Structure formats: structure tokens, C-alpha cells
Structure 1
Amino acid sequence: MSEKVNTTYVENRYNEPAPRPGVGQKTKRHCARWWWLHLIIFCVVFLIIALCLVYVAMPHIAQHDVNKSTLTFTELDFLEPTADSVTITQKGILHSSSMYTPTLDPFTASSWLVTNGTFGANPILTVEMPKIHAMHGDNNVSVSSQVASVVDTNQLNAFTIAALNQEYITTALTGKTKLHEGALPVTTVSYNKSTTYKGLNRLAGFNVTSPNINLTAATGAPNFSGFAFIPNPSIMTFAMGNVTLSLATAQAGIIGNATVENMTLVPGNNSLPMTAIIDQLSVIGSMDKSGNVLLEITGTSAVYNGVHLAYYEAALKSNVLSLEMNIAAVLAGSAASAAASA
């Protein structure tokens, strides 16, 4: 008997529609066909992201790190002054908390006086800053014996007055420079750092030590000598030249003047030889019952290499020192000293 074929089953099996491909199969087929397009899109997106990071994000990161760094002065010397320049030595510590170690090109910085957070109308002077390679942590930054030009004499006057009279003073350095970081493109950054440090605090603690009155001095010759004791709590050194001081009392007015030659104030205690020409009768007439005289001392001039330094004279005139001196004891001591040396 021949085998009977189920023709119905065969017909149904071949007439069924083919099953639809799944998402995975479609994706594979699409990628196999359009792989080159996806590669182009990936490269374009990667390039856009990379360019944004390099040319947009990195400059912002660089500026942010520069802004976040701090500058602390450890020494400020103002030497060899002229009417329109001063030779400065400036030492400080630049602290960077950045993970990067960029290099800043040399640049011209403007120095500003900052008062209660407000910059002066103009810079005080300009300083040529050296190349700085900023490592993570503390970095020494220094300018040595550089002749800095005065930009605005009014601002320099304001700076010297503030430096002499204030317990603390704030200045700022500003400028623009190029920043290098490895193989990344060079970027321009703005440098703006304010630093607060101690001032001379009105020369608090001023005194005259080893005073001596010469009763036999010739007319017009110095008849008083001693040492001007001047504390300097700041980090600043000022070479001021020959300084003249006016001496006065409430009772007699101006009684004479004193001179400190080659006056240079360095950090710490300064003891500088001082001579004076005083009207001895006016001094004696100003004594109280205990033999004390209250002297009012005001700087009137500062001359360096024959040139009047208006900015130091403005500072000296802004600060009146009061000094009580027992003239009776000074006279007694001077007489005894003169007798001993005779």
C-alpha cells in the first residue's frame, strides 16, 4: 500500500508568511549596512567634545586655577628712590592647589593700592614679573633690584601714607599673560591678586634713646643728640634719605628741628643716630613741674641724593608723633657726662 501524503499540511506550511525579524536582527543588519556612517558620526561628536574641552573648558579651568591661587609677600624693599622711580625687591609665596602645573610667561604687572576692597583710581607703579612655573603647593616668586616706574604720583602718595599710618595695608598685582600646560594650546589668563600685610602702624613705640643736650654748642650747630628708636612691624624696607623732623610743644610752638641722615627703615627695631638744633630756653619754658616736656614730632622733608621725595614727605607730614621726655633728667645726665669727659 502506498503511503498517503497529507497535502493539506504541505500547502499550509509553504503558504504561511515568513516570521518578521526582531529588533536585534534589524540593528545588526542596519549596522552592517551603515557602519561607515556611524563611524563618521562618532568621529564628529568626539572631535566636537575634544575641541570644546581644549578650547572652551580648559581656558576656563586655567583661569579658575589662577583665580584660586594665593600670593603672600614675605619681603618688600623700596630702595634707591627718585622722583619718578624706585628700585624694588619683592619676594613672595604663590600657593596653588591645582592638580595642574602650568607655566606663566613673564608679564608686566600693575601694582594698586586697595582700600576697603576698592582699587585706587590708577596703578601705583609697574613691575616686570618673571616666568612662573606653578607647582602644586607653595612656589617662591621674586623680583630682585628692579627699577619700577611710578605711574601715578597721587597713588604713590596714598600708598606711602597708608603704609606709614595703617596697621595693615592691601595692595594688588594685575596683568595678562600666557599660560602653558603640556601640549595643550596656549591660553591667555588674567592675573589679579590682592595681598594684605602689616604696615608701620603710625610708628607706634617711637622713642629717643641716649638723649644728650650740649649746653656749650655753638649757635646754629646741633645741640641735641640721641638715637631715634623706630619699630617696624612690617615686611617693608624704606630707604628715605636724609629726613628732617620738626619739633614743637604746645606751650612754645616750634622749638627746633631734628635730622636723621640716610634713614632706612628695615623690618624689626631700628635705632638711628639723630641730631637736632633746639631752642633750649623754649624747651625749658615748656617743662611741667616734674621736668617733663611733651614733644610733637612731624616729618617735614626727605631728601635722597639731593632730590626731595614728595611721596615720603607726604607720609611723614601725615603722622604727628607725641613723645614725653624728662628734660630735667636729660640735662642732669648731659651735665654729668660732660663733666666726666672733661
Structure 2
Amino acid sequence: MSDKDMKFETVEDARVAPVTRGQRFKRHCGRRWWIYLIAFLVIALAAVLGIIFGAIPAIAQDSVNDSTLQVDGIAITSPSNTKFTLSMNSTVHAHSPVSASFSPQTFEMYLPPAAGEPVVPFMQLSIGGLKVENTFTINVSDVATNIMNQDAYLQFSGKVLKNNDLDLGVRSSPQVNIGSIKFHVDYQKTVSLKGLNGLNGIKLYNATILDKPMADGTNMVTDGVIPNPSSFTLQVGDLTVDISTLGMELGYSVVKDLTLHPGDNRVKIYNHIHPELIDNLLFTASIKAKNTNITLTANSTVFNGEHIDWLEKPLHAAPPVIAVLNPSE
């Protein structure tokens, strides 16, 4: 073998096999592994934050949207033309996929507006923190409440007094707490309520003409039952109504310190009958007869010496109520 051949063979044997793309990538990763670890952690953190700040609030909002609010009782007492005292018991039915709570919040209440019309709240109700469960209660007692909008509240009270059914809008923007995660959701519900149905169904009993009128001029007293089919307790004060029967004006009647509770309300009625009717045979016969219709037309409501406009105006504007004296049971 010549020297030339030997040199060629030596060069051939010294060739290194070419490095593949995969091998180059492995070497690259081996030298810069920390860069890829940081990138992975950033991507993982972004995914977790996306769940926390995107998916979890969306799930919570869906749960709020699917929840139901049931008002079990509302009490409006100590009325004036600018404020009153409010108590309310309500029940929320919800499905919370995680343990959560609401921070203290303020509800606004309003009549649901017609399409395209703005919401006009007429009162606010602040409550404390709440733990969210499948069923939980929202109860408040004796909260001094200002009337935010006189016209809107007048419309609301009119619906309460006149209608058998009405809707009440409730909204807030509570903060939801899930562990250390905090965010706000929109809470807006329409609640169906029972109204007082125009105070229809009043029954009167035991009409008694007094031998001597009382100091305030009362010359006849009767017992009465005023039905309240609603879940409202409503403090009215002194309610005065004009009364007539068989087309004959009789005078007026006063129910003193009236508070309407749900169910039948038994009251004493102080009647101021025109003096010339007291000995009228037609009148005396009518108050003894069975099923005598007495027409009641609301005149005024007074509490603590103040005429309560949001009670007085809708009652006065409502159609007369027909009460039955000596009903056949």
C-alpha cells in the first residue's frame, strides 16, 4: 500500500458522524433549561389566573342569575312622608359550587320599569355579610328607611294597597369572597308579592247606637274584620272613611291606631252618624238587617298627627269598598 493510500484512509476514519436536529435541541435545552422552566411557570400561572379571574367569576354570576329570592314578609311601620321603619324576612335558594360569602351590601328596591324606561329606586336596604348556602335567609328588623323618590314610592304603595299581585325589583352589586379571591357580581331579581287587594271583604258586626255620644262625637260603635291577604304588615294610623248605605250618607267612621297584619284583622270602629239618622227607622232597620252593604270611601290616614300622603292619596283615589254588615256566615 502506498503512502498516498494510507493518508486517504486515515482521513476517512477520522470523520465525525453529523449531529441531528434532535440532538442539537437536547443540548440546547440542557444548557438553557431554566428558561423553559420559567416559561412553563408563566404559562401555568396565566392559566390559573384565567380560571380565577375569568371562569370563577363567570360561574359565580351564573349561580347568582339562577338563584331565586322569596320575600316571606315585609313590615312598614312608623310611617311619615319622608321615611318609615322597615323589617323584612326573605329566603334565597341558590346552588353554589364552592364555599363563598357576600360582603355587606346595599339593596335598591324599585318597581320594574316598562321597556326602555329607567329604573327609579324608591328605597335602599343595607344588610350585613352573608354566607352563601343552597338555602339561606336575609332578615332585617326595624331599619330606619328614607324614601328616595316620592313619586315612585307613591306608585309602589298604591299597588300594594290596590292590587292582589305586584312585582318588586331588587338589585345590588355584592362582593363575593371565595377564600382570598374577591370580585363583584350583579344581583338583580324581580319578586312577586301579594297586595292588600283594595281592602275588599271587610265585614262588620254588632252595630251599637250609644245612649250618650263619646267626647269625640262617636255615637255608634261596630266590630270589624279587615282581611289582609298579603305578606305585608302595614301601620296605617287613624283611618277615616266616609260611609253610606242605600244611597243614604251616614257620616264617617274611624279605625284608630290601625296596623294591618297578614290575615284577618279584628278592629273596633268608631262611627260618627249624622244625628238626625240615629232615630230614623230606615237607618235603625238597616243596621239590624242581614247582609247590609255599607259603602266605605277612604278620607284620610293620620299617624302622629301627620297626614301620610303615600297612604292617603291612593286610598282616597281607589274605588269605594263595599263592607257587609251582619253577614250570613
TM exceeding 0.5: yes
Write out per-residue CA displacement over residues 256-286 of structure 1, whole angstroms, 9 at most, x where no aligned residue.
1110001001111111111111232496399
Identity of aligned residues (%): 25
Instruction: Determine if the alignment matches structure 1 residue 263 to structure 2 residue 262.
Output: no
2:234 to 227, 235, 238: 238
Sort the Cα spacing of 1:167 and 1:70 in 2 relative to 1 into closer, same or farther, 3 A.
same
C-alpha distance in 2 between matches for 1:183 and 1:60: 17
**Which position in structure 2 is the counterpart of 1:335?**
none
**Which position in structure 1 is the counterpart of 2:127?**
129
Of stretches 155-164 and 256-265 in structure 1, the one that deviates more from structure 2 is: 155-164
1:92 to 90, 93, 103: 90
Sort the Cα spacing of 1:120 and 1:241 in 2 relative to 1 into closer, same or farther, 3 A.
farther
Which letter does structure 2 place at the counterpart of 1:316? L
- Deviation at 1:165? 1.7
Write out per-residue CA displacement over residues 7-66 of structure 1, whole angstroms, 9 at most, x where no aligned residue.
9xx96xx57987766776565445334423322321221222222223333333333333
Q: Do the aligned residues in 2 keep the contact of 1:108 with 1:128 (CA within 8 Å)?
A: yes
Unaligned runs of 5+ in 1: 1-6, 330-342
After TM superposition, the score normalised by the length of structure 2 is 0.82
**Which position in structure 2 is the counterpart of 1:277?**
272
Q: Which runs of structure 2 are paired with 1:215-254 in the superposition (5 Å)?
A: 216-218=211-213, 221-249=217-245, 251-252=247-248, 254=249
SS of the aligned residue for 2:173 comes to strand
C-alpha distance in 2 between matches for 1:217 and 1:141: 52
**Which position in structure 1 is the counterpart of 2:153?**
156
Write out per-residue CA displacement over residues 175-219 of structure 1, whole angstroms, 9 at most, x where no aligned residue.
2332221022x22233322211211122232211222234x4459
Q: Do the aligned residues in 2 keep the contact of 1:212 with 1:224 (CA within 8 Å)?
A: yes
Q: Do the aligned residues in 2 keep the contact of 1:114 with 1:120 (CA within 8 Å)?
A: no
Unaligned runs of 5+ in 2: none
C-alpha distance in 2 between matches for 1:69 and 1:240: 34
Sort the Cα spacing of 1:19 and 1:85 in 2 relative to 1 into closer, same or farther, 3 A.
same
C-alpha distance in 2 between matches for 1:58 and 1:275: 62
Sort the Cα spacing of 1:32 and 1:296 in 2 relative to 1 into closer, same or farther, 3 A.
same
Instruction: Determine if the alignment matches structure 1 residue 31 to structure 2 residue 26.
Output: no
C-alpha distance in 2 between matches for 1:271 and 1:83: 27
- Deviation at 1:226? 1.3
Q: Do the aligned residues in 2 keep the contact of 1:243 with 1:302 (CA within 8 Å)?
A: yes
C-alpha distance in 2 between matches for 1:66 and 1:247: 50
Which letter does structure 2 place at the counterpart of 1:175? S
C-alpha distance in 2 between matches for 1:102 and 1:44: 28
**Which position in structure 1 is the counterpart of 2:41?**
43
Aligned length: 315
**Which position in structure 1 is the counterpart of 2:323?**
323
- Cα RMSD between the aligned structures? 3.4
Write out per-residue CA displacement over residues 68-99 of structure 1, whole angstroms, 9 at most, x where no aligned residue.
32221112111111221111111111222011
1:56 to 54, 57, 63: 54
